[in-house]
Amino acid sequence: MDYEFKSFIKIFITGCLWGTIGLFVKLMEAHGSSSSYTSFLRLLFGSVLVALLALAFGGPKAFRIGKKTLVSCILMGIVCQGVFNILYSTSISMNGMSVASVLMYTAPVFTSIMCMMLFKEKLTALRWFALLVNVAGCVLTATGGNFSAASLAPVGILMGIGSGLTYGMTAVFGRITMQEHGSPFAVAAYNLFFGCVFIALVRRPWTTVEEPFNIHIILLGLLFGLIATALAHSFYFSGLTWIRQTSKVPVVASIELVVATIIGVAVFSEGITAVKIIGIILVLFSILLFSSRK
């Protein structure tokens, strides 16, 4: 296997780990956590745990970064972690989970456009087709083809599109940052830390729950920070290093939605329909198309 293929495997693993996000969110909210407090704990524990990984693999020198890299990490943390979490949670509250998920998974479109503008990447007709297949698959997987219960608030739609834009910018910022600094653990640590600080200042999330130090919430937050955050972001930034076309990244990572759907069926007894199965097949097919070399 060459480095680029290994990188796609890492992005695929990242998507699988991100697919557990809904599981942790539901479990933490069942114990009294709020969406903003859940996001805060995720970023807080995630930044601490991935910083420990950076120390273990690179020592203190891994955290030595230049001013340009620091600015990139700050922007990535604020925009791709802090602002994204606020926009996405608002979109969910206004339009419901299905519509919010669909709007968030417009991210590959935004990433492709930004990569064409910034990195001069070219998308062939086949890749544009794969992009449309991916978006269609995400829509069918998230909704099952049923929008009847959706409440389409205009502000919520804008928030959802904004969440797709900020999510899509993660790959762009990540590529720029990883070109400047070699340690994926350090980049992930700075990214998560600045996102955590942003949410703390803007939302004061500990005021949104009755028991901020509830032991169940804290332990689940710790697992959330380890599995779907520290490990996931470490694989993600490590994978960005050798991928030449960044526009492929969010498509491969969209396996997250497939994993989330499987967890929903297996753990929470959510319904699975033929339409959702078709959506899963389309997502997997689009990942195969984008990962192919011809």
pLDDT single digits (tens) 11-36: 999 999 999 998 999 899 999 999 89
Contact present, 257 and 101 (Cβ < 8 Å)? yes
Domain boundaries in the chain? 3-291
Two tokens at 182? 């070699």
H or E element that contains 150: none
Contact present, 240 and 178 (Cβ < 8 Å)? yes
User: What was the pLDDT predicted at 16?
Assistant: 96
- pTM of the full structure: 0.91
pLDDT single digits (tens) 135-152: 999 989 988 877 665 556
Q: How far apart are CA 80 and CA 74, in angstroms?
A: 10
Give the sign of the dihedral formed by CA 145, CA 274, CA 93, CA 172. negative
Please give the chain's pLDDT, 294 residues, in tens.
Answer: 588 889 999 999 999 999 999 899 989 999 999 989 999 999 999 999 999 999 998 888 888 888 888 898 999 999 999 999 889 888 887 877 777 888 888 899 999 999 999 988 887 888 889 999 999 999 899 888 776 655 567 788 899 899 999 999 999 998 888 877 668 898 999 999 999 999 999 999 999 999 999 999 999 999 999 999 999 999 999 999 888 889 999 999 999 999 999 998 898 888 888 999 999 999 999 998 887 665
State the angle between helix axes of 84-95 and 35-58 in degrees (0 to 180), rounded to the nearest 10.
150
> Which residue from 206, 220, 236 is spatially nearest to 80, judged by alpha carbons?
236
